[in-house]
Amino acid sequence: MPQFFSNKRLILLLVGVIFLVALISFSLRDRDNVSLPEQIIKDVVGFGQSIFSKPTHYITGVFDNVDSLLNTYEENKRLKGRLEEFAKLQADVHDLSSENTRLREIVGKEDDLRNYEPIQATVIARNPDQWEKKLILDKGQVHGIEKNMAIITAQGLIGKVILTTPFTSTIELLSSQNPNYRVSAMVMGEKEIFGLIEGYDDERKELILKRIDSNIEIEVGQKIETSGLGGVFPKGLLIGEITEVSTDDFGLTKMAYIKPAADFTLLDHVMITKRAMTTVGGSEEDSTATDDAQGDEDGS
Amino acid sequence: MMLRLIVPAIAVVLFYLEPVFGLFSPLDIGGEYRYLIPRFLIMYLIFISIYYNRNRAMAYGLLFGVLYDVFFLDIIGLYSFLYPLICLIASFIVKYIHQHLIITTVISLVLVTGLEFVLYQFFLFIGLTDISLQVFISERLIPTMLANSIFLVVLGWAFKYVINARLLQRLNQPN
């Protein structure tokens, strides 16, 4: 039997392993920005990737269209039933929004946490190994994308930007297991009740809303939206609906399971929300950073 | 000249095709998610390693591993270590057994299963996932291996054909 490893090879292998462990631990740290070589690789690979994925989106789009054509009759019947309801709703919304503008003018407050500028983007790749729930979009810094911006689809919030390069951006989905991934949310009801989306239950396929005051009553079926208080996300992006309420591990606060409004599978076109009002601190997940920023403002 | 480029060109195409197939995963079948993870590139590299040239396969493995790490994972050193390692193991195994296409296919699939297990252990270790082994096998491993074995059964002979053609050409003009 030949010797697999001569001494030279063994040393080379060991040095390689040490180097790799060092690299892995370096890249696992929370990094604020990507290094230049990484940016170049991401942009170049991203360019090639979009050449491959755009035709794919076109083809799946054709299939989707055929699929929806087949359902047209059913759907039309159902929609007609809802049309009347819709007209009334539209009148209500129009009434309320004009009243809102008028009241705003009286108070003299123009900015609103709800206002945002949507930027259309196409998903060019989804991390094929799916351990980390990441997507790559075809818009980057030159299009005005910044870290921590919220990503939505027509149905609701799906995630946020975690890395940007000049021409691509990486987003992490809400279904991520990353313990540092938090979104400041509120329960819609008579009063606004605040909590934090922390974690995702892989088996139930539901998000977990934590840190709700135990004196406050919340019910199954209530809607959850972003609160806009984290500093970067706009207010009022739909996240989901409560399916179960329980107390947390220590019995001090309540937690709720939330069924996400948006579907995390088969994502192709998404919107990046650029908040109109100034962003604070720059970190949705790290409340200390925003505190520091506010502290600075107070001091100056 | 064309043939010279075609071996790396296939690797590049497979590298770009993986995330395109990834866009369709997870499949939502009756409320259960099924993850089909495309491993086309590494299976092709195993073929190169067995039929063509081990060092060439390891070099490609390192290159595409780095691209994969930087573009998708942001954990540098994971795939760039595992891809060459798998090519190395494949070439060791094949020294002792016959290089028949069916055997190569089986070896590739066994090695990909090994890769999935190592990755599962790694992500479990760094805390990015907390699924149990049972869920891992039913949600990820079985669908992944089914999809990849279909791919390899359909295209394995083509890989072998292209690589052999290149090998013959190389033997005919030694330079």
Average pLDDT over residues B9-37: 83
CATH number at residue A247: 2.40.10.350
B37 vs A: CB within 8 A: yes
Domain covering B2-164 in this structure, CATH number: 1.10.1760
Evaluate whether residue A34 is within a structural domain.
no
ipTM above 0.85, yes or no: no
The domain tally of chain A equals: 1
Residue pair A57/A64 in contact by the 8 Å Cβ criterion: no
Domain residue spans in chain B? Answer: 2-164
Residues A125-162: b if buried by 16+ CB within 10 A, e if exposed? bbbbbbbbbbbbbbbbeebebebbbbbbbeebbbbbbb
| Angle in degrees, CA A170, A175, A180, rounded to 5 | 75
Give the Å distances, CA to CA, from B128 to A114, A150, B84, B123.
32, 21, 24, 5
Residue A88 lies in a domain: no
Structural domain span for residue A232? 182-260
Q: How far apart are the first and last CA of chain B?
A: 13
Helix or strand (DSSP H, E) at A44: helix A36-70
- Pairing of the two strands A182-187 and A169-173: unpaired
B151 touches chain A (CB under 8 A): no
User: Could you tell me if A172 and A181 are in contact, meaning their C-beta atoms sit under 8 angstroms apart?
Assistant: yes
Entry pTM: 0.80
The letter for the amino acid at A73 is Y
pLDDT digits (tens, 9 = 90+) for A107-136: 877 667 778 888 899 888 888 888 888 888
Contact A53 B26 (CB under 8 A): no
Question: Under an 8 A CB cutoff, do A52 and B20 touch?
Answer: yes
Query: Which residues are CB-contacts of B121 (< 8 A; sequence separation ≥ 6)?
Result: none
Residue A249: inside a domain, yes or no? yes
Segment A44-66 mean pLDDT: 86
* In a domain? residue A124: no
| Tens digits of residue pLDDT in A241-289 | 999 888 877 878 888 899 998 888 878 889 998 887 766 654 444 444 3
CB contacts, 8 Å: A202 with chain B: 129-131, 135
